[in-house]
Structure 1
Amino acid sequence: MYNSFIEQLAGLDLSGFSIKPAPFDQTDFPCDDAIDQTLTGVWSDLFSMFAGTALEADAEDIAWGFVNLFHRAATRKSSQLDRASNEIRALLACADGSEVHSSNLEEQIGRAQAAEASMVAFEQMREMAATLYREEMGSSWRPMSGSRSRHSGTFTSAVIDARDFLRARAERRRNAHSPEGTPVVFAGGRSSFPSTDGAKMFANAVWATLDKVRDRVPDMFLVHGGDSKGADRLAASWAERHNVQQLVFSLDRRLGARAGFKRNEQMLDLKPRYVVAFAGNGVLERLVIEAKLRRVTIVDRRILPSATR
């Protein structure tokens, strides 16, 4: 039976046969309400199952992974978009005006459009899941590596010219990674507290300070080191709740002991309006000194009660 099938397949006339992606249609994607309602329902059922069980302590890891599912899907679509964009560039470089070339170019543009629309949809799902994570865990969700950028808007099939597509793609990429407004640097270390009330008082102090800074700088974007367990985590949570853009400067571990000082330099090179400083280590103290030398205003909150580093 197997050989017979192979023989029949070999006898088929497949000349001119090709496999193309399905026609791109923006309306094929889930609507906003469907995304919000579905993810909220799944989240509620999943974590109510953990409540009061031995798995409750692992709920945060599961929650992080839930958000990461959509982040990884968006990242894969972004990679597909990059490959399609590279194909478009290659086709433009060898344009010969033939019908075959035009067809290939049109097909690659269609692939790119579909990949970008899928990427934006998955990013929307990730942002909804990240909101649920923040409400459940009280902190901002961040990927293990890379940026959590979001591309505003989608690419429409009305764009036909390949050069227009590539210019639009480059512009969206820049916008997704470039916050707009006035930079405000936030710095703080990790603290321990003798009671839950002490931890809440500290969190409230961080948030109240940032509220006051935002009153003075309405177009601020927050610059910080992205520590997932320290004061940076509280600042990131505040930024998400207030829709304030964030620019994270992670440590370059290759620099060893110089990494923290290099990060200080990079953040201050942005010429921030303020440096908001809570208690931290010697690297933070050096940040305050350098900021003063550059005549940057310090919002000094390094002395707060009920906290030990």
Structure 2
Amino acid sequence: MLDIITETTTAHTLFEQTIYAKRRFSDELDYRPLPDADTLRHGLSDIFDVILGMFTDSRLEDDTQGILWSFVNSFHRKVERIQKDLDQNEDAQQKSQREQDGSEVKSVELEDLITEGQTLLEQRATFELMRDHGGELFEANTGGLWRPISGSKVNHITMTAAMIDSRDYIKAKQRAETRAFIPEGTLIAFTGGTDYQDYKTIWATLDKTKAKHTDMVLAHGGGT
């Protein structure tokens, strides 16, 4: 597993997963490269300088912070829209997997969905970088901390191996703590209406189950 070490939030390069991109509702492949990360950062810095230069020492200077916040937020909103497209792409891939029948048509359909998903991942990484660097520029130029009004500010590129291992550990710990309250054995769920009074049938069924699963642990809905 690869650790991605960063000096700042946006100190990473964009990783191109494929030699071409494919967008939804388009049959044409796009062989143009992703924009260079350094070029994006320099471009954002230039845009901030232009906006600040336009408004400083003018009667619109008090509006500068709001304009810069909205500019950065436009990238965050784009990330949210891409995430929705990614969720739809995942559903479409799962549906296509179930429909695979060995035909070339179905195979190509799935391959296209995979490429579209990879393209969306690249787009998300690009706009996350722009949002995060824009947030740093916002803080440096206004003294305020940029935060989105809605949604979470997650950067998928900076998810390090240590973070993933930590989350896996916490999940495993929670499962272990939960199992501590569950007796060992084959769990048999048992339920029924409170007005069911044929106890002989109930006991006969439980006896058969016990004979088949000698380590039976009975789970029921409670009550008397």
TM-score higher than 0.5: yes
What pairs up with 1:264-283 in 2 under 5 angstroms? none
Change (3 A) 1:63 1:179: farther
Of 88, 94, 110, the residue aligned with 2:93 is 88
SS of residue matched to 1:34:
helix
Change (3 A) 1:68 1:21: farther
Change (3 A) 1:180 1:132: farther
What pairs up with 1:236-247 in 2 under 5 angstroms? none
**2:157 match:** 152
C-alpha distance after superposition, 1:214-268 (max 9, x if no partner) = xxxxxxxxxxxxxxxxxxxxxxxxxxxxxxxxxxxxxxxxxxxxxxxxxxxxxxx
Of 28, 34, 37, the residue aligned with 1:32 is 37
What is the identity, as a one-letter code, of the residue corresponding to 1:29?
L
C-alpha distance after superposition, 1:181-228 (max 9, x if no partner) = 7xxxxxxxxxxxxxxxxxxxxxxxxxxxxxxxxxxxxxxxxxxxxxxx
Question: Matches of 1:180 and 1:96 in 2, distance apart?
Answer: 37
Question: Matches of 2:114 and 2:49 in 1, distance apart?
Answer: 40
Matched, 1:104 2:109: yes
| 1:21–1:111 contact (8 Å) kept in structure 2 | no
**1:79 match:** 84
Question: Matches of 1:135 and 1:67 in 2, distance apart?
Answer: 13
**2:137 match:** 132
**1:23 match:** 29
Deviation at 1:139?
A: 2.6
Looking at CA atoms only, which structure, 1 or 2, has the larger radius of gyration?
2
Aligned residues: 141
Question: Matches of 1:44 and 1:99 in 2, distance apart?
Answer: 53
Change (3 A) 1:180 1:138: farther
Which of 1 and 2 has higher RCO (CA within 8 Å, sep 6+)?
2
**1:46 match:** 51
Identity of aligned residues (%): 30
Question: Matches of 1:45 and 1:179 in 2, distance apart?
Answer: 40
What is the identity, as a one-letter code, of the residue corresponding to 1:23?
L
TM-score by length of 1: 0.42
Deviation at 1:22?
A: 3.2
| 1:134–1:140 contact (8 Å) kept in structure 2 | yes
**1:243 match:** none
Question: Matches of 1:150 and 1:179 in 2, distance apart?
Answer: 13
TM-score by length of 2: 0.57
Question: Matches of 1:100 and 1:149 in 2, distance apart?
Answer: 37
Change (3 A) 1:45 1:20: closer
| 2:82–2:123 contact (8 Å) kept in structure 1 | yes
Question: Matches of 1:179 and 1:44 in 2, distance apart?
Answer: 37
Deviation at 1:74?
A: 1.7
| Unaligned ranges ≥5, structure 2 | 1-24, 167-224
